[in-house]
Amino acid sequence: MASALLELPRNFRPLQIYEQVCERIRAEIRAGRFMPDARLPSERELASLFGVGRPAVREAIGALQNEGLVVTRRNSGTYVVANAPDVLSNIAEMPEADDDRQLQPDYSPSATLDVRLILEPAIARRAAAHKRRDKLAEYYLAQMETLTDVSDAEQRTLWNNSDRLFHRQLAQMTGDALLTQFATEIAQTMDQSLWKRIKDDGIFDPQRIRLYVAEHRLIYEAIVIGDADAAAFYVEQHIHRVQRDITPI
């Protein structure tokens, strides 16, 4: 009997912090405390209200944008959409999946960056030990360098794909199959809708994109000449910059 009480549904998984914030905001909208067409409190105010960090609030807002429940207007704030009751109704009526898709979360970008900060400097060091150029890594670099209009959806897609696949290719350059598998998982996470939403919202300045391209070039050239310390340092600094840009504290 005791084991039956502890048995969880097959599709059970704990909610990530940003998902809990999403549900709190939905509850406030349902209760009429956040009204349709009304501006939401600022990210800082929501973080204080819910007792979480700003990255979790930023991610929750991105997820709610993807649901169509809120819209963010640059230099103005985030607003509940006019048809919020209909959107909430559609969300509530979505049938639960009967398979393992329910178990697949849209991973938190801040958590992904924390893992990248642990893994990718080590990958850069290992790749630098081989001191080899890589045609595919150079191809992704060249693709990133073609970006001219960050507001264009096709060019944003090109950037997102080239960026995440470049970092995966650095793992391929180590010759280590397990590191490559880890990097592949991270690249897939960076292709999820929440990551792309947060990144597109946080990195919209063409000058910032050019800086990112330069940082990728520094990482690659340090690997090619076999400077492991420099390669690891450049990767670490790059990821810290991404953290500041897309998940502010």
Read off the pLDDT of residues 27-37 as tens digits, 9 standing for 90 and up.
999 999 999 99
* Residue of higher predicted confidence among 165 and 11: 165
Distance (Å, whole) CA 70 – CA 111: 23
Of the candidates 179, 178, 70, the one whose C-alpha atom is nearest the C-alpha of residue 123 is: 179
Distance (Å, whole) CA 36 – CA 19: 21
Average pLDDT over all residues of the chain: 89
* Residue of higher predicted confidence among 202 and 238: 238
- What b/e sequence results for 82-114 when a residue is b if at least 16 CB atoms lie within 10 Å of its CB, and e otherwise? eebeebbeeeeeeeeeeeeeeeebbbbbbbbbe
* Residue of higher predicted confidence among 14 and 72: 72
φ and ψ of 80, to 5 deg: -70, 135
Distance (Å, whole) CA 227 – CA 236: 14
Distance (Å, whole) CA 119 – CA 123: 6
| pLDDT confidence bin for 92, thresholds 50/70/90 | low
Of the candidates 244, 221, 3, 4, the one whose C-alpha atom is nearest the C-alpha of residue 124 is: 221
φ and ψ of 71, to 5 deg: -135, 135
Q: What is the pLDDT of residue 74?
A: 84
Percent of the chain whose pLDDT exceeds 70:
89
Mean pLDDT of 91-115: 70
Percent of the chain whose pLDDT exceeds 90:
72
Mean pLDDT of 115-144: 97
Distance (Å, whole) CA 192 – CA 107: 8
Of the candidates 139, 183, 171, 144, the one whose C-alpha atom is nearest the C-alpha of residue 160 is: 144
Rg (CA), the chain: 20
Q: What is the pLDDT of residue 96?
A: 52
Q: What is the pLDDT of residue 100?
A: 46
Neighbour tally for 65: CB within 10 Å: 19
Of the candidates 173, 167, 169, 147, the one whose C-alpha atom is nearest the C-alpha of residue 158 is: 147
For the chain, list the domains and their CATH numbers: 14-98 (1.10.10.10), 109-246 (1.20.120.530)
Q: For 17-168, where are the E strands, in sequence order?
A: 70-73, 77-80
Of the candidates 148, 245, 158, 157, the one whose C-alpha atom is nearest the C-alpha of residue 206 is: 148
Block residue for tokens 């912090």: 17
Predicted structure pTM score: 0.84
* Residue of higher predicted confidence among 14 and 215: 215
Number of helices and strands (H, E) in the chain?
A: 12, 2
Block residue for tokens 């607003």: 79
Q: What is the pLDDT of residue 9?
A: 57
Q: What is the pLDDT of residue 207?
A: 84
Lowest mean pLDDT among 131-135, 196-200, 211-215: 196-200
